[in-house]
Amino acid sequence: MDWISTEKHAQRMLDCYTAQDVFSTAGVLLVRKNTLIVSRHIRLFRRHGIKSIPVLQTAPVPQQVQRRLEKIDPSIGEKYEEQFERMTAVFTADQLTRRQKLQDALDYFDTLLEPIRTSRSIFRTMQQLKGHDQYTYRHSINVGILCALIAEVNGLSDERVLEAGRAGLIHDIGKLFISEDIIRKPERLSEEEFREVKKHPIHGADMLQEYETIPYLHSAVLSHHERLDGSGYPEGAAGEQLSEAARITAIADVYDAVTSDRSYHQGATPFTGMKILEEEMYKGKLCSILGIPFLHYMIRTYTGTQVLLSDGRIGHVVQIPQAHIDQPLIFTSNQVINLYEEDDLFIEDLYDERMTLSSDDEAEGER
């Protein structure tokens, strides 16, 4: 159970459930325990002078996606949920049905990808998904979407865009063979546990080889943790030994891992994610030829975005300088703030536009 401020960090409550009944100072019941919090509840808490609220787990990932996209394109939310269910089936299937479940998930991916290729809204939605439960399924889908995007902005063919997306979708399939206790462990892994986790690319590649999948998928699964300078795993492959699929998947995997909530850390902002990718490219670990067009696309995507600053103010991103991607220029309160020049001010999160929904809009979305 966590306590969240109704003022400075109020948007963190959205998509969370109340941990207990919430009463006014006069003893009137305002919200019952296990209520999914929406913005009208936050306004209600503020009107009654309630400073903080205890919350429990977040809503399931598919529900979060649907609620965020219902005003933009509800069909994407429905397709995301279907893909999520198919990935869940892959990771929970027995050995007899696993191959068919995997093929079902791969076959459906082009249905999910088609509307996403014409909309940037899904990328902002991906950045704001909360909670670390079901991380593996969510991460698989997100990396699939990102891989397809990286392939597309690099001008690859439609066929290769789909292959790249499918490769990203199943890049972590080898985690099927890693203990759930290790995968979900909230603390730092021991050396022995980390050695076990590092086997997942080999486990996944072995499984795909048995299933006789196309080499493009096999390469991504085996080598998405390899690095161009040879510092990765499981084989320490480097340079020209790494395929296009491996290079694309490595970029997408790092970005989503950094910007997603996990059992042991809260996800970073997309600006921090872009900065880390840039640093890894300059170090010669990730492929800059494929990565820089992706960064340019993400810079365009997040320019103009509303953000929540660490002091509680809301602003718009007006420019993202290449020299310090994680410290853009923000317009707020009739002034432009250069975060690079501010020691104690930073972007807390993307601003959740549902905070400004009217009660009528929310009620319509809940029906």
Q: What is the pLDDT of residues 346-363, one digit of tens each?
A: 999 999 888 876 554 444
Predicted confidence band of residue 244 (pLDDT cuts 50, 70, 90): very high
Collapsing DSSP states into helix, strand and coil, what is residue 195?
Answer: helix
What integer is the mean pLDDT of 53-64?
84
Architecture of the domain delimited by 61-301: Orthogonal Bundle (1.10)
Residue 277 has pLDDT above 70, yes or no: yes
Which pLDDT value is given to residue 122? 72
Which pLDDT value is given to residue 366? 47
Which pLDDT value is given to residue 133? 63
Which pLDDT value is given to residue 132? 63
Domains 2-58 and 61-301 fall in the same CATH topology: no
Residue 1 has pLDDT above 80, yes or no: no
- CATH number, domain 2-58, options 3.40.47.10, 3.40.50.10140, 3.40.50.720, 3.90.105.10: 3.90.105.10
Exposed, middle or buried, 113 (CB in 10 Å: 0-12/13-18/19+)? buried
Which pLDDT value is given to residue 263? 67
**Residue 288, C-beta contacts closer than 8 angstroms, at least 6 positions apart:** 281, 282
Which pLDDT value is given to residue 214? 81
Kindly list the distances between the CA atom of residue 44 and the CA atoms of 11, 55, 155, 367, in Å, as whole numbers in the listed order: 14, 16, 49, 20
pTM of the model: 0.91
For the segment 118-162, what is each residue's pLDDT rounded down to a tens digit? 776 677 777 777 766 678 888 999 999 999 999 999 999 999 999
CB 270 within 8 A of CB 277: no
Q: Kindly state the helix (H) or strand (E) to which residue 309 belongs, with its residue range.
A: strand 306-309
For the segment 250-260, what is each residue's pLDDT rounded down to a tens digit? 999 999 999 98
What do you get for the CA distance between the two ends of the chain, in Å?
28
What integer is the mean pLDDT of 327-336?
94
Write down the domain spans for the chain: 2-58, 61-301, 304-355
Which pLDDT value is given to residue 119? 74
CB 317 within 8 A of CB 328: yes
d(CA 298, CA 318): 14
- Stronger pLDDT, 62 or 222, i.e. the higher one: 222
What integer is the mean pLDDT of 49-68?
85
Amino acid at the residue 317: V
CB 170 within 8 A of CB 102: yes
Predicted confidence band of residue 367 (pLDDT cuts 50, 70, 90): very low
Residue 342 has pLDDT above 60, yes or no: yes
**Residue 254, C-beta contacts closer than 8 angstroms, at least 6 positions apart:** 276, 277, 280, 286
Which pLDDT value is given to residue 157? 96
Predicted confidence band of residue 239 (pLDDT cuts 50, 70, 90): very high
For the segment 19-39, what is each residue's pLDDT rounded down to a tens digit? 999 999 889 999 999 999 999
**Residue 245, C-beta contacts closer than 8 angstroms, at least 6 positions apart:** 163, 164, 167, 216, 217, 219, 220, 223
Collapsing DSSP states into helix, strand and coil, what is residue 54?
Answer: strand
Q: Kindly state the helix (H) or strand (E) to which residue 349 belongs, with its residue range.
A: strand 347-350
What's the chain's average pLDDT? 90
